Amino acid sequence: MSRSFTLTIDRIKCDGRGLCAELLPELIRLDEWGYPIIASGAIPEHLLPLAQRAVDDCPVLALALRRADRKQ
């Protein structure tokens, strides 16, 4: 069985730089103030590499991938 992942944000670290929404517009959009809104549910498998890229490129390390079956 393949593992499923979700994206989580450390809301205190997040600065609203918006890079994640540029890298992964399929799953992340920004609110009026530039802070990310993440689509709910597990990340579709074909988007996993892009999600990993968004996590790696977040300038304040606020974005993370989590196993979906894990609490938080």
Summarize as ranges the residues that interact with another protein (CB under 8 A).
9-16, 31-35, 37, 72
Residue number with CB closer to another protein (1 or 32): 32
**Minimum distance between the CB of residue 22 and another protein, rounded to whole angstroms?**
17
**Minimum distance between the CB of residue 48 and another protein, rounded to whole angstroms?**
23
Residue number with CB closer to another protein (26 or 31): 31
First to last CA, the chain: 21
Distances (CA, A) of 52 to 32, 33, 43: 25, 24, 11
Evaluate whether 7 touches 53 at the Cβ level (below 8 Å).
no
